[in-house]
Amino acid sequence: MGKVYVFDHPLIQHKVAIMREKGTSVKDFRELAKEVAMLMGFEATRDLPLEEVEIETPICKTKVNMLKGEDIAIIPILRAGLGFVDGMLALVPNAKVGHVGLYRDPETHEPVEYYCKLPKDIEKRRIFVVDPMLATGGSAVAAIDFIKKRGGSHITFMCLIAAPEGIEALQKAHPDIDIFIAAKDDHLNDDAYIVPGLGDAGDRLYGTK
Ligand code: PRP
Ligand code: URA
């Protein structure tokens, strides 16, 4: 069974708290999403493999650890997942970026796929699926289904805020993946929004609504 990591780092808690406030501007929300993605990505990439290589400092030759050059794919779930891409790319600039487009049907709350474009060699890549919100879990489960059908296997899921219902659904459907969460909230309301949450992450990132 994959693990669930909930961040208790004060910087992450503080930034997520500002993102939750309804008066936070679109500009600040977007910048904070990038910063939180970097802080979370730092931890989520902790198990990337290293290799020992010889280099020469101005003083002498020495052996140092460098990233083994593992191929990484960052896959945002459109559209709100895009808010995490720049922060992750700041950490792993050579990663390729795939996109899975899903929206929740407002009546049924079921995910509807409208786009999927992944790196060709997805089966060889370490994959980070990113989306700020894990509510019912329907979107994350469907996105990871699509990725697995196209050959992806070593997958980590990262989100800002998760409801217990979403964590349970994702673990049940995909018990092999690790889940990184900045904050675990209380429950879902009748419209399947996370309570207390931060509202509609896509609208808050892009100033729509
Ligand atoms: C939001 C969010 C997730 C999904 C979570 O996207 O970014 O993708 O809802 O809900 P779920 O766990 O119940 O599936 P939304 O459908 O609002 O689309 P958007 O990103 O285009 O705004
Ligand atoms: N999608 C969001 O953007 N927010 C929620 O609370 C639930 C789903």
Q: How confident is the model at residue 68 (pLDDT cuts 50, 70, 90)?
A: confident
Q: Model-level pTM?
A: 0.94
Q: Distance from the CA of 184 to the center of ligand 1, in angstroms? A: 16
What mean pLDDT is reported for the chain? 95
Model confidence pLDDT, tens digit, residues 127-151: 999 999 999 999 999 999 999 999 9
Q: Is 200 tagged catalytic?
A: yes
The ligand minimizing its distance to the Cα of 197 is 2
Torsion of CA 10, 12, 18, 19, to 10 degrees: -160
Answer with the residue of higher pLDDT: 106 or 134: 134
Q: How confident is the model at residue 108 (pLDDT cuts 50, 70, 90)?
A: confident
Q: Is 156 tagged catalytic?
A: no
What does the pLDDT read at residue 23? Answer: 97
How many domains does one find in the chain?
1
The boundaries of the domain holding residue 196 are 4-206
CATH number at residue 56: 3.40.50.2020
**Mean pLDDT in residue range 5-23:** 97
Percent of the chain exceeding pLDDT 90 equals 91
How many other C-beta atoms are found inside a 10 Å radius of the C-beta of residue 140? Answer: 30
Q: Is 108 tagged catalytic?
A: yes
- What pairing do the DSSP bridges indicate for beta strands 99-104 and 126-130? unpaired
Instruction: Say if residue 126 carries a ligand binding annotation.
Output: no
Q: Is the CB of 91 under 6 A from ligand 2?
A: no
